[in-house]
Every structure is written in C-alpha cells, then in structure tokens.
Structure 1
C-alpha cells in the first residue's frame, strides 16, 4: 500500500512550479483535467456543479448544468474523441502551460492554466457562464478583460 500511495502523491506538482499539460481526459467543469504528463489538474479559482448536478454546500453553485460546464471545458482545451469506461470525456488538444498552487485535494494539483487557443482557462470558463468565480481561491487573479 505504501508504494501505491507514494506513486499517487508523485502526480501532485509542488506549489510554485510551472509545468506542461497535454490534456487527455476531462471529468467536469473545474477538473480534474488529466494530463498525458501525469498530473490531474483542479482548475483554480472556479466552481462547477458536480457530475450529478449537485453543488457542495461550501462552494458557489452556478446555474449551468454539470454537463454544460464539462462540455465548455472540453471545447476550450481541445476536441472530444470519445469516452472512457469511467465516464471521462477523452480529448485531444494543444499543450497547456500551468502554474501549480499545490495539492488540490487528493491526487489533484490546483493550478492556473493557459491554453494557446484561449488563454487563461479559469477566465475562459467564467466567460462561458457555466462556472462561477470562487472568491476564496480567485484572490488577486486577473483576466485579460479585467474580470
């Protein structure tokens, strides 16, 4: 069991590190977004509905459905190419550049990510109207449009 836990912990990128992520899977509108390089990213500063369309009591609750948020993220990061047996949307898209904020709960890395297609993913997701800014984690983050 120690070996399994050690290998899972290795996928969390330490805070402050810049890393690359070639997206391969999307679970929901705020992540995890799976990277070919290993990490699973929880996009920083935003909140989406859970896949069953519920919201957690300790986070903002957008009016858009979980399916709409996941579809928006899929379209922002690349092209859908299928489904995994676990329910992830499989994607193919350009490599993202991400800045880690550290552990995003479990084996996820909380990160601000930028796409060569759309720029800042958290800002782009807020602009879709399918997620909400989560003030607790957004802090001083700025989008190009001043949001």
Structure 2
C-alpha cells in the first residue's frame, strides 16, 4: 500500500524525484509517492470528459487516448481507483519544477529512463498539443 503525503507544490527551478503511482489524464496530474502531483509542463490534453478548457490548446485526440498513452509511457496500468485514476507503478522520474500549476499541482518537465522527456514524448505521440506559451521550444521533432 502506498503512503500518500499531502500534495505539495515544489518550488520553481528545483529538481526532484517522482515515483508515479496514479495518473488522471494526458497532461496530469501524475501523483508521486513522494507527495507532489505533477502537471506536465508545456503541453495540453483534452479533459477526460472530452472538453477543452477555455484559452487552452485543444488537441483532436480524445482525453482517454492521451491518458492511456501517458500510462503506457509510465509502465502500463495496474488498476483503477473508485475515482477513475489509473493506478501505475512507474519508473522513477527526474523532474524540474516550473512552480505552481493551479490547485495543489506542480508544473514540471519530467524525464523517464526509457522515453526521456515525458512532455515531448506525449507531443510526439500526437495525443496532446504543445502549448507554445509554456513549451519554451523544448519539444522539437526528432
């Protein structure tokens, strides 16, 4: 059983480790065993109910497809909670905080050992959109 600490926002420009245990949608939050909840920086995904928030990029791919892609990049599903979060047992991520991302979430660029930068891997998958306002040119095609 995982012990969840109270969600904490990691100070901007800090490097931290995240062991992912739950995912909500294609751009997060990713719940970390260490406490933070990560909103992947530089990207936008449809919500699970297939809507897009006003002022956000709106990809054509479904919210569920984006979430399932992120779950696969993080090692695959291990179950589902009563609230709809996908349970995962992902590889340890190395993350760089961009600071507060509304609510109790940290915006962060995170890298997984097998795929590198998760935000960029999601953009390459075609399931999310790069968000130019936040992407900072980091997700370039290979």
Bin the TM-score by the shorter chain.
over 0.9
TM-score scaled by length of structure 2 = 0.93
* Structure 1, unpaired ranges of 5+: 1-6
> Which residue is 1:72 aligned to?
69
1:144 is displaced (CA, Å) by: 7.4
Deviation by residue 1:64-102 (Cα, 9 ceiling, x = unmatched) = 000000000000112210001111000011100000000
The structure where helix makes up a greater share of residues is: 1
Is the CA contact 2:120–2:138 (under 8 Å) kept in the aligned structure 1? no
**2:48 matches 1:58:** no
Aligned equivalents of 1:113, 1:74: Cα separation in 2: 14
**2:42 matches 1:45:** yes
Aligned equivalents of 1:143, 1:42: Cα separation in 2: 20
* Structure 2, unpaired ranges of 5+: none
Is the CA contact 1:120–1:143 (under 8 Å) kept in the aligned structure 2? no
Aligned equivalents of 2:137, 2:26: Cα separation in 1: 21
**2:59 matches 1:89:** no
Q: CA RMSD in A?
A: 1.4
Which 4+ stretches in 1 moved above 6 angstroms? Answer: none
Aligned equivalents of 1:104, 1:121: Cα separation in 2: 17
> Which residue is 1:129 aligned to?
126
